[in-house]
């Protein structure tokens, strides 16, 4: 191995390390923004004013996929995520919701929008049918 090979391998390793660092940093930034915006969200359910802090997320399904990998390399680049994440939530009383976030991150700012849909009990049970722990959190049922 000559000196140029060593320099090349070091440069590739530095590039990969930088990519991983920036990707994790941007992912953590979006996760923090998601949690905060969810808590701050307000809604009215059957005449009762609620906030996201009143809801319990019993299951997060799906994930975010980034539409531009180039933007992940840029510390302040534009980054849009596809909303294929679903947060199943229970509220006070017999209330259940599906929360779907839409995220756009650009220049150190994360813009979030939530679509919040009420779910009837049978629909929530169907969504959680294979997840005993989530069913217990949503309905208070013991796993079994």
- Specify the higher pLDDT residue, 97 or 82: 97
Q: Rounded to whole angstroms, how far apart are CA atoms 60 and 133? A: 12
Residue 96 confidence (pLDDT) above 90: yes
Residue 126 confidence (pLDDT) above 90: yes
Residue 143 confidence (pLDDT) above 60: no
Cα Rg for the chain, rounded, in angstroms?
20
pLDDT value of position 68? 42
pLDDT-derived band at 71 (thresholds 50, 70, 90) equals very low
Closest residue by Cα to residue 50 from 95, 85, 81, 88: 95
Residue 135 confidence (pLDDT) above 70: yes
94: number of Cβ within 10 Å? 11
Question: pTM for this structure?
Answer: 0.71
- Using one digit for the tens of pLDDT, what is the confidence trace for 35-67? 898 999 998 888 889 999 999 999 998 765 554
The predicted model gives 88-111 an average pLDDT of 84
Q: Rounded to whole angstroms, how far apart are CA atoms 56 and 43? A: 14
Residue 70 confidence (pLDDT) above 50: no
- Specify the higher pLDDT residue, 31 or 40: 40
pLDDT-derived band at 72 (thresholds 50, 70, 90) equals very low
pLDDT value of position 74? 47
Average model confidence (pLDDT) across the chain: 81
Give the position of tokens 């849009």. Answer: 80
């Amino acid at each position: 191995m000559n000196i140029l090979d060593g320099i090349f391998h070091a440069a590739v390793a530095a590039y990969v390390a930088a990519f991983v660092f920036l990707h994790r940093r941007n992912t953590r930034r979006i996760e923090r923004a998601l949690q905060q915006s969810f808590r701050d969200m307000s809604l009215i359910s059957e005449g009762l004013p609620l906030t996201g802090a009143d809801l319990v997320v019993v299951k997060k399904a799906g994930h975010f996929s980034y539409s531009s990998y180039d933007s992940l390399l840029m510390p302040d680049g534009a980054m849009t995520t596809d909303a294929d994440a679903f947060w199943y939530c229970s509220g006070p009383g017999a209330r259940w919701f599906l929360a779907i976030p839409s995220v756009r991150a650009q220049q150190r700012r994360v813009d979030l929008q939530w679509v919040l849909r009420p779910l009837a009990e049978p629909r929530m049970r169907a969504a959680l049918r294979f997840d005993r722990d989530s069913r217990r959190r949503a309905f208070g049922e013991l796993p079994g």
